[in-house]
């Protein structure tokens, strides 16, 4: 994975985390996190990056990768579906109270898509 893509996922996490921390639906921080999302991240990291995150996966916890004090314990590029998620984007496709943020979100999402395709193209070329 390119350093640029990892950096873009970190930027996205930095952009979306404050929205999650102050959920517009007043559901509370990390209220959209789920065990299934952690399981998807575990599989994604294993399949795409050949990284085994089971040592961080607390199967007995309601949300296996979530630490109550520090938040998610895995890097943003290992959990793209979580990193890109906010309730407002999911529900409406934009944040009705923050046009600037929405613009930044979609600009960054486009950059992530670009670098993901770049990685995919390199992989496809190697498979020939």
Closest CA to 85 of 124, 47, 36, 119: 36
What distance in Å separates the CA atoms of residue 37 and residue 106, rounded to the nearest whole number? 22
- Residue 123 pLDDT exceeds 70: no
pLDDT in tens, 29-54: 777 889 999 999 999 999 999 999 99
Of the pLDDT bands very low, low, confident and very high (cuts 50, 70, 90), residue 125 is low
Predicted local distance difference test score (pLDDT) of residue 128: 59
Helices (H), 31-98: 35-49, 80-83, 87-92
- Residue 58 pLDDT exceeds 70: yes
Of the pLDDT bands very low, low, confident and very high (cuts 50, 70, 90), residue 104 is very high
Range 106-111 average pLDDT:
97
Tokens of 87: 């309730």
User: How does the average pLDDT of the chain come out, rounded?
Assistant: 89
Predicted TM-score of the model (pTM):
0.86
pLDDT in tens, 5-29: 999 999 999 999 999 888 766 667 7
Where are the extended beta strands (E) located within 32-111? Answer: 66-67, 71-72
Q: Greater confidence, 99 or 124?
A: 99
What distance in Å separates the CA atoms of residue 101 and residue 99, rounded to the nearest whole number? 5
């Amino acid at each position: 994975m390119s350093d640029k893509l990892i950096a873009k996922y970190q930027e996205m996490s930095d952009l979306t985390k404050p929205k999650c921390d102050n959920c517009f639906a007043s559901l509370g921080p990390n209220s959209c996190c789920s065990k299934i999302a952690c399981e998807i991240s575990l599989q994604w990291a294993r399949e795409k990056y050949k990284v085994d995150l089971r040592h961080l996966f607390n199967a007995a916890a309601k949300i296996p990768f979530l630490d109550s004090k520090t938040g998610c314990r895995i890097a943003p590029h290992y959990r793209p579906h979580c990193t890109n998620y906010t309730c407002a984007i999911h529900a409406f496709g934009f944040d009705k109270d923050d046009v600037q943020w929405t613009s930044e979100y979609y600009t960054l999402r486009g950059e992530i898509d670009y670098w993901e395709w770049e990685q995919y193209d390199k992989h496809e070329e190697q498979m020939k």
